[in-house]
Every structure is written in structure tokens, then in C-alpha cells.
């Protein structure tokens, strides 16, 4: 049998005012008693007392599981006057026992109208948890670092933790497997940029431009800089800003679609193998409510336009706050630029731009950590205000709210760098200033692609390394400290059952959102892997290495360090699938805009086919990008500076260059700028339509459900109808009854997972 434990503090003798919570706790469990729900333990009424805790054990009789199987035997409902099939079609597993008992405990109310959660808030109870029993095989074959490259025992995970946890690991394993081609392609694009590290015509021109003076970039750089001084930066930028980036962005759009479509097929095979293909979560919840209370009244669907409007307004306000956080980062970068330029540390003074980019990314990471806690509370409050009908509906709405807030928290600074940085700062003679004092930062002479790459690399790198370390070390240290404090008391219970209960109690607590947090972490990682991947082709490779660790890390936490999760049924990953599809669409839009507006791809193509020396006759052997650097830089007369004498080395300097398309003396945008803008917009529209068409074709070409699964389901329906027809003829007097048709056999794993060329 399976037991669910509730533990509460036992107050010391002599403190009369503190005895009441313990009595209320015992009374609560007495009121929980049903004809099929009993207390179990080593002493009277299922209560075991330790030095500081009182443990209550609960168990359910087998009769309740027969009722459960009867209610959920046929998800589509039995035919009128049809006999029920054998009740053994739904096996009574430990997971099922835990799930039913947990549901009753959580939904039962005392005579005073208090729920178990209310009693926990009042301090009557400290925790409730199912016991870890029979997990030894999972510890040996799954939850160990040395098994990192072994196949996961999915069926054992399902039997122990339930279908929802098992589907998480199935999805995570499949996602990791599908990252291999994306990681290899991204690595190939990166290496191709390395192979052209010295061969780039643009890099050569920048490195040889000793006679081109660049205008000061900001207040921290009050001197003219030779363009050749940015040689190394230009070469590094070419690693990520090359023609292969466009191909890789289109490939990732196709990859995201194929990944989701094949996952849907994989999910269909798995849930058919688990006999959950036609399972209905809503019907399951109603069945549990009826088991808990036969007089349960159905709660109908309701919709309040007032509540929806308030929720929408509050969500938009939070999104505006997230966007405001991006402006805070802008202010930091501007102020840090001024601070580092006047620093007494030579290293910072000489590398102001690099220091600002790196520290800005670190500040953004700290902001993410803080805002994650705030976003969770806000999303929970919004869900409570909305009053969802069922737990699954509440979980779905919380997922959407929380992910929306987290998305803007993680990607606000990336959106600023990709599409705003360097575009609103004016020109050298008339710069846009923050509060009229500090000049806004500008892009490097080679563009903003390197800034975007550094920001993504630091945030994603910290998320995948530091966060994983914290995710493992915090539960490990906490468990060790709890165990150490318990051992220091010097009290070792003689009762083996009490020792087992204490051992489980000393594990780290879990809650409803323990698995939710793992899914959210992977969704954010998936966003970094697909959105803005044009600026960071190594993102899939980093995600691949991280996931190999993440699978075993989560397994070790669940089996070794945490209390057992309450098993939950599921036949898919729920709202997370819609989140993945949304990220796929956003990735197409974002990558198209990065290529068009952030990278130098469009200006290079326009120069190559409109201004290139290759267009002249007899110059076919000349590199078509020759002269591009001079073409892409505008001219500024130094006499138009507000304080030309305040710039270091201004003697005998009449002209300087800056990255833009403007014409002196009024420095308005030139014809080249407007022509490029039109081409950029046209490219975004073309890229998005082509990528989305490829996604739609791939989604159509790869069916969501394999033919083998459809045939198995069709066969089961056919056999069930034959069975009902046989029973009907028997009731009519046996006319044409014939022999009883065989019961539909459950599909075997071999038949489900067999790979055939016709299985499309």
C-alpha cells in the first residue's frame, strides 16, 4: 500500500497555549475519516510521536479503487445497457493510491470550513508527503552521473512519479536528442567564420585603414580613433556576422517546426503505450471529486469580462514594468560608461566599451534572478483573482501569465541591443543625451552584432552553469544540514516505520510548482536557442551540453534529495506545447529582424549589387566588397562639434568618420539610408513569409500522429463496438449472437515503437 504522511509540530509540555494547534490537527484527521480512508501507523489511530514531531499516516482501502476504475473505465462513456468490461483494465498502482489520497486530503474541509492548506498556514501541520518506497532501482540505473548517456527508464519513471513527470523527462530527452543536428550546424557556421577570419575583405580594409579617423563614440572617448585600431573587434564580429548566419537562421526555423512535429508523434506513441490516448483530465478530476464527496456539485464554466479586463490591464502594466527595466539597463550602461572612462584603473579606462557590455550583462542577470521571484507572485495573484474552475485550468493560466512576464524579463535587454542601440543617438554634432547630460552609447564601427552576442553568451552561460550549480548544491546542502541537525539530537527512533517516516521528512520539501519550475527553465533555454540565434550560433551547442547535465541533475534531485512528488496523470505537456509554438513564431520574426537591422548582411548585399566595383566591366577579378568600409561611413566636419577644441588630438583634423548614412552640412539621412531601409523592410517580410511557409509545409508533411497509432486506436474502437454488439444481441435473445469477439489487446511496446518506412 501507499501512505501519505502529514507531519505537525508537537508542542512541549507546560506550554498550554500551544497545545491547541496539535489538538486541532488530530481533530482534522478524525474528520477526514471515511468508510474507506483510515489511519495507519505504529500506534493507536495511526499516530507516531517523535521528540519534536507527530506523524499521521493515512491509507485508503481497496474498495475506493474499484469505484475509481468504474467511473473512468470508458472515457467516452459506456453504451446504454452495456455491461462493463473487466475492472482490471485500470491497474491499482502506488501512484494511483497516492494521487487519490492526496486529492481527498487537499479537498476535504473540517466542520469549520478549513482546508488542509489553511491548517498548514495556521501552523497546525508542517508538511504532507508520500513516502519514497521502491526507488532503489531508479537510484542505480537512472539517478547517477555516470549514466548520463544511458537511455532513460521511462516506464519505471512513470510507475514511480506518475505520467506528468515521466512526460517531462521524455520531452527533455527528445529535445536534447534533437539539439544534436542544430548544435552541429551552429558549430559549422561558427567554424566557417573562423576559416574566413583573415580572408574577409571588410576586415582587411578596417585593419589597413590607418588614415581614417573615427569621431569620438561617446563622452568617455574624447579623442579621435584610427579605424585600424578596431581591427581585432572587426575580425571577431565577422565570426557571427557572415553570410552563413542567414542560412542558419532559416535552418533553425525549420528545425523548430520539425522538432515540435516529431515530438507530437513521439508523445502519441508514448501515451498509447500507457493506455492514456483517450484519457480525459477533466473527467478524472470530476471522478476524484465524486469519490471525495458523492454530493459534489458540478461547477459550470463561467466567464467574467470585468475580470478578464482587469487581468489584461494588470498584465500589460507588468509588461510595461519589464520594458522599464530595459530602460534601467540603458541608464546603467550610460552611467557606467562615464564612470569607467574616468576610472583610475588603466584597464577599465582603456576598455570602456567592453567593460560596459560585460557588466551590463551581469546586471541584467541579477535583475532576472530578482524579477523571477516577483513575477511568480504576481502571476499567482492574477490567477487567484481570475478564480479558475479547476486545478488544471489554474495551472494553464498561471503558465501563460508567468511565461509572458519571464519572457520580457529575459529578452528586454536583448531587444534593446538588437533594435534600439545606436539608432536613436543622433550624430556627432548633435547627440541624444540622457537627462541632457550623458550621451547615449553607440554601436561599434563594425556594428552591434558583437554586443548582442556578448549579452546572449553571458546571460545564457550563467543560466546554464551558475543556475545548474545552484540548483544542485542548494538542495544538497539543505538536505545535509537537515540531516546533521537531526543526528545531533542523538535520538534514533527504535520503530523502523518511524525511522522511515523521519528519513522522508528530512528530505527537501516539494510543492505543486516543483515540476513547473523545471519546465519554465527549459522554455527560457529554448527561447535563447531559437530567438536571436542568428547572433549566437553556438546557443544550441551550449544548450545540448547543459541538457545532458540537466536530465541527471533533475533525476538526482527527485530521487535522492527531495520528498516524493505526488504523481499526476497527463497525456501531453499541456500549455507548454503552445508556448513552444509561440516561441517558434517569435524566433522567425526576431531572426529576420536581426539579419535585416542588426547585422551588416543587407548593406553588404546592396553594396555588392549596386555600388560594387564588380559592376564595372573588366573588374570581375576584384573582390565585390572592396571599398565597402569607406562607403558605409559618413563624413563629419570637426568644426561642427559643439566643443571641437576639447577633443584630444584635434589639431589639423578637419574631418572624421562615423557609422551612419548622412550628408553634411545638415547631416540629414541620405538617399542611401532610405534605400537601405526599404530593402531591410522588404527582406524582413520576405524572410518571415519564406520561413513561415517552410514551417507550414513541414507541419503538413509530418503528421502529428503516426499511422501505426491511428490504426491501433481504430482497432480498439472496432473491437469495443463488436463487444457491445455481442452484448446487445445476447439481450435480444441470442439471435445471431455468434461467438464472443476477443477483447481488444493492449498494444505492446514493440508494436508501438517499431520503426517502419510506411509509418508516416
| Three-state helix/strand/coil letters over 638-653 | HHHCCCHHHCECCCCC
Judge if 117 and 178 occupy the same domain: no
Position 198 scores a pLDDT of: 73
Specify if 598 maps to a domain: yes
757 or 26, which is more confident? 26
Position 736 scores a pLDDT of: 54
Among 54-63, 305-314, 412-421, which stretch is predicted with the lowest mean pLDDT?
A: 54-63
d(CA 224, CA 3): 76
Average pLDDT for 681-686: 93
Specify if 446 maps to a domain: yes
Angle at 499 between CA 498 and CA 504, to 5 degrees: 95
E strand segments, 33-191: 37-39, 47-49, 53-60, 127-130
The answer to whether the beta carbons of residues 133 and 95 sit under 8 Å apart is no
The answer to whether the beta carbons of residues 209 and 570 sit under 8 Å apart is no
Specify if 48 maps to a domain: yes
Q: Write out the three cell numbers for 309.
A: 479586463
d(CA 678, CA 673): 9
**Is residue 242 helix, strand or coil?**
coil
Q: What is the extent of the structural domain holding 730? A: 718-753
Q: How confident is the model at residue 659 (pLDDT cuts 50, 70, 90)?
A: confident
Position 303 scores a pLDDT of: 80
Among 325-329, 368-372, 399-403, 619-623, which stretch is predicted with the lowest mean pLDDT?
A: 619-623
Specify if 323 maps to a domain: yes
- For residue 207, pLDDT over 70 is answered with yes
Burial-class residue 286 by CB neighbours within 10 Å (0-12, 13-18, 19+): middle
Average pLDDT for 604-616: 87
Judge if 125 and 169 occupy the same domain: no
Position 221 scores a pLDDT of: 60
- For residue 753, pLDDT over 50 is answered with no
Judge if 125 and 167 occupy the same domain: no
User: How many domains does one find in the chain?
Assistant: 3
- For residue 5, pLDDT over 50 is answered with no
Q: Write out the three cell numbers for 668.
A: 540629414
- Which of 468, 515, 466 is closest to 365 using CA atoms? 466
Specify if 330 maps to a domain: yes
d(CA 494, CA 711): 57
Alpha-carbon Rg for the chain, nearest whole angstrom, is 32
Q: How confident is the model at residue 2 (pLDDT cuts 50, 70, 90)?
A: very low
Number of other residues whose CB lies within 10 A of the CB of residue 72: 18
Q: How confident is the model at residue 10 (pLDDT cuts 50, 70, 90)?
A: very low
Q: How confident is the model at residue 193 (pLDDT cuts 50, 70, 90)?
A: confident
d(CA 45, CA 16): 23
Judge if 64 and 177 occupy the same domain: no
Longest dimension (CA), the chain: 114
Q: Write out the three cell numbers for 36.
A: 474507506
Judge if 216 and 297 occupy the same domain: yes
Judge if 77 and 204 occupy the same domain: no
- For residue 152, pLDDT over 70 is answered with yes
Q: Cell 466542520 sits at which residue?
A: 111
Most confident of the ranges 305-319, 396-410, 726-740: 396-410
Over residues 120-151, the pLDDT tens digits come to 888 778 888 999 988 889 999 999 999 888 99
Among 76-80, 156-160, 271-275, 610-614, which stretch is predicted with the lowest mean pLDDT?
A: 76-80
Judge if 347 and 467 occupy the same domain: yes
Instruction: Report the DSSP beta bridge partners of residue 658.
Output: 634
Beta pairing class for 433-434 and 430-431: unpaired
The answer to whether the beta carbons of residues 132 and 564 sit under 8 Å apart is yes
Percentage of the chain modeled with pLDDT above 70: 83
Average pLDDT for 420-424: 80
d(CA 117, CA 687): 52
CA distances in angstroms from 643 to 169, 265, 465, 607, 648, listed in the order given: 63, 67, 47, 35, 11
Most confident of the ranges 56-65, 298-307, 625-634, 651-660: 625-634
Q: Write out the three cell numbers for 66.
A: 474499484
Specify if 618 maps to a domain: no
Side-chain half-sphere of 710: how many Cα atoms within 13 Å?
8
Domain boundary among 567, 602, 637: 602
Judge if 126 and 172 occupy the same domain: no
Q: Cell 549566437 sits at which residue?
A: 536
**Is residue 275 helix, strand or coil?**
coil
Position 749 scores a pLDDT of: 39
| Region of residue 37 (left: phi > 0; alpha: psi -120 to 50; beta: else) | beta
| Cα end-to-end span (Å), the chain | 43
Position 402 scores a pLDDT of: 93
Domain boundary among 571, 602, 633: 602
d(CA 527, CA 469): 21
Judge if 583 and 492 occupy the same domain: yes
Q: Write out the three cell numbers for 676.
A: 537601405
569 or 108, which is more confident? 569
Q: How confident is the model at residue 3 (pLDDT cuts 50, 70, 90)?
A: very low
Judge if 247 and 103 occupy the same domain: no
Average pLDDT for 8-32: 47
Over residues 447-457, the pLDDT tens digits come to 788 888 888 88
Q: Cell 487567484 sits at which residue?
A: 384
**Is residue 685 helix, strand or coil?**
helix
Q: In angstroms, how far is CA 406 from the centroid of its own chain?
A: 9
Number of other residues whose CB lies within 10 A of the CB of residue 547: 19
Q: How confident is the model at residue 580 (pLDDT cuts 50, 70, 90)?
A: very high
Q: How confident is the model at residue 15 (pLDDT cuts 50, 70, 90)?
A: very low
Judge if 425 and 553 occupy the same domain: yes
Domain boundary among 567, 586, 602: 602
Position 366 scores a pLDDT of: 87
**Is residue 226 helix, strand or coil?**
strand
Specify if 524 maps to a domain: yes
Specify if 595 maps to a domain: yes
Position 163 scores a pLDDT of: 93
Average pLDDT for 329-346: 75
Number of other residues whose CB lies within 10 A of the CB of residue 234: 25
Q: Write out the three cell numbers for 237.
A: 564580429
Position 9 scores a pLDDT of: 38
Kindly give, in sequence order, each residue whose CB lies less than 8 Å from that of residue 269, ignoring residues fewer than 6 positions away: 706, 708, 709, 752, 753
Position 34 scores a pLDDT of: 56
- Mean confidence (pLDDT) of the chain: 81
Position 114 scores a pLDDT of: 80
Over residues 368-387, the pLDDT tens digits come to 888 899 999 999 998 888 88
Position 755 scores a pLDDT of: 37
Over residues 178-190, the pLDDT tens digits come to 999 999 999 999 8
Side-chain half-sphere of 568: how many Cα atoms within 13 Å?
23
d(CA 725, CA 740): 10
Judge if 275 and 330 occupy the same domain: yes
Most confident of the ranges 109-118, 446-455, 623-632: 623-632
Amino acid at each position: 500500500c501507499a501512505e501519505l504522511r502529514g507531519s505537525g509540530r508537537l508542542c512541549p509540555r507546560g506550554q498550554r497555549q500551544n497545545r491547541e494547534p496539535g489538538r486541532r490537527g488530530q481533530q482534522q484527521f478524525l474528520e477526514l475519516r471515511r468508510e474507506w480512508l483510515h489511519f495507519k501507523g505504529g500506534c493507536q489511530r495511526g499516530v507516531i510521536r517523535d521528540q519534536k514531531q507527530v506523524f499521521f499516516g493515512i491509507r485508503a482501502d481497496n474498495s475506493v479503487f474499484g469505484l475509481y476504475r468504474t467511473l473512468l473505465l470508458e472515457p467516452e462513456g459506456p453504451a446504454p445497457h452495456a455491461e462493463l468490461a473487466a475492472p482490471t483494465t485500470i491497474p491499482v498502482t502506488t501512484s494511483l493510491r497516492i494521487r487519490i489520497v492526496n486529492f481527498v486530503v487537499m479537498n476535504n474541509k473540517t466542520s469549520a470550513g478549513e482546508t488542509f492548506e489553511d491548517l498548514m498556514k495556521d501552523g497546525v501541520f508542517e508538511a504532507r508527503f508520500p513516502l519514497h518506497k521502491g526507488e532503489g532501482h531508479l537510484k542505480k540505473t537512472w539517478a547517477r552521473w555516470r549514466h548520463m548517456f544511458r537511455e532513460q527508464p521511462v516506464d519505471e519513471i512513470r510507475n514511480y512519479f506518475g505520467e506528468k513527470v515521466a512526460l517531462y523527462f521524455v520531452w527533455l530527452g527528445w529535445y536534447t536528442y534533437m539539439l544534436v543536428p542544430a548544435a552541429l550546424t551552429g558549430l559549422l557556421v561558427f567554424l566557417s567564420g573562423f576559416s574566413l577570419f583573415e580572408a574577409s575583405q571588410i576586415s582587411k580594409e578596417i585593419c589597413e585603414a590607418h588614415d581614417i579617423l573615427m569621431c569620438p563614440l561617446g563622452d568617455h572617448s574624447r579623442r579621435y580613433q584610427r579605424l585600424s585600431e578596431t581591427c581585432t573587434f572587426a575580425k571577431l564580429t565577422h565570426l557571427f556576422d557572415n553570410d552563413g548566419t542567414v542560412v542558419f537562421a532559416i535552418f533553425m526555423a525549420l528545425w523548430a517546426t520539425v522538432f515540435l512535429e516529431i515530438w507530437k508523434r513521439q508523445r502519441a506513441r508514448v501515451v498509447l503505450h500507457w493506455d492514456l490516448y483517450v484519457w480525459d483530465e477533466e473527467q478524472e478530476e470530476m471522478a476524484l471529486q465524486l469519490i471525495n464527496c458523492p454530493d459534489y456539485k458540478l461547477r459550470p464554466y463561467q466567464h467574467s469580462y470585468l475580470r478578464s479586463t482587469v487581468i489584461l490591464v494588470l498584465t500589460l502594466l507588468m509588461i510595461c514594468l519589464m520594458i522599464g527595466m530595459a530602460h534601467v539597463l540603458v541608464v546603467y550602461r550610460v552611467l557606467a560608461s562615464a564612470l569607467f572612462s574616468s576610472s583610475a584603473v588603466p584597464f577599465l579606462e582603456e576598455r570602456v566599451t567592453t567593460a560596459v557590455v560585460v557588466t551590463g550583462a551581469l546586471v541584467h542577470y541579477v535583475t532576472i534572478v530578482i524579477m523571477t521571484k516577483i513575477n511568480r507572485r504576481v502571476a499567482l495573484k492574477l490567477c487567484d483573482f481570475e478564480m479558475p474552475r479547476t486545478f488544471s485550468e489554474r495551472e494553464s493560466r498561471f503558465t501563460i501569465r508567468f511565461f509572458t512576464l519571464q519572457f520580457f524579463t529575459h529578452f528586454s535587454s536583448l531587444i534593446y541591443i538588437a533594435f534600439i542601440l545606436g539608432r536613436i543617438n543622433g550624430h556627432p554634432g548633435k547627440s541624444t543625451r540622457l537627462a541632457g547630460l550623458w550621451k547615449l552609447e553607440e554601436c561599434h564601427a563594425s556594428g552591434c552584432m558583437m554586443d548582442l552576442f556578448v549579452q546572449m553568451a553571458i546571460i545564457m552561460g550563467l543560466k546554464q552553469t551558475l543556475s545548474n550549480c545552484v540548483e544542485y548544491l542548494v538542495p544538497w546542502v539543505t538536505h545535509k544540514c537537515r540531516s546533521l541537525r537531526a543526528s545531533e539530537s542523538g535520538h534514533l527512533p527504535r520503530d523502523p516505520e518511524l525511522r522511515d517516516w523521519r528519513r522522508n521528512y528530512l528530505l527537501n520539501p516539494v510543492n505543486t510548482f516543483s515540476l513547473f519550475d523545471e519546465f519554465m527553465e527549459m522554455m527560457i533555454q529554448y527561447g535563447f536557442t531559437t530567438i536571436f540565434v542568428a547572433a549566437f550560433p553556438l546557443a544550441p551547442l551550449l544548450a545540448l551540453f547543459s541538457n545532458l547535465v540537466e536530465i541527471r541533475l533533475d533525476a538526482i534531485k527527485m530521487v535522492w534529495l527531495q520528498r516524493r512528488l505526488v504523481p499526476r496523470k497527463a497525456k501531453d505537456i499541456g500549455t507548454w506545447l503552445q508556448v513552444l509554438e509561440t516561441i517558434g513564431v517569435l524566433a522567425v520574426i526576431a531572426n529576420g529582424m536581426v539579419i535585416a537591422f542588426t547585422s551588416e548582411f543587407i548593406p553588404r548585399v546592396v553594396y555588392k549589387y549596386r555600388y560594387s566595383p564588380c559592376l564595372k566591366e573588366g573588374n570581375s577579378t576584384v573582390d565585390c566588397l572592396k571599398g565597402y568600409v569607406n562607403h558605409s561611413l559618413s563624413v563629419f566636419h570637426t568644426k561642427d562639434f559643439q566643443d571641437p577644441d576639447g577633443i584630444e588630438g584635434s589639431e589639423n583634423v578637419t574631418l572624421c568618420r562615423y557609422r551612419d548614412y548622412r550628408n553634411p552640412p545638415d547631416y540629414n539621412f541620405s538617399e542611401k539610408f532610405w534605400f537601405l531601409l526599404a530593402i531591410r523592410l522588404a527582406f524582413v517580410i520576405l524572410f518571415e513569409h519564406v520561413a513561415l511557409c517552410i514551417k507550414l509545409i513541414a507541419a503538413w508533411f509530418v503528421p502529428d500522429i503516426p499511422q501505426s497509432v491511428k490504426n491501433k486506436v481504430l482497432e480498439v474502437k472496432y473491437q469495443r463496438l463488436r463487444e457491445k454488439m455481442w452484448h446487445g444481441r445476447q439481450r435480444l435473445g441470442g439471435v445471431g449472437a455468434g461467438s464472443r469477439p476477443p477483447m481488444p489487446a493492449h498494444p505492446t511496446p514493440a508494436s508501438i515503437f517499431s520503426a517502419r518506412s510506411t509509418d508516416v
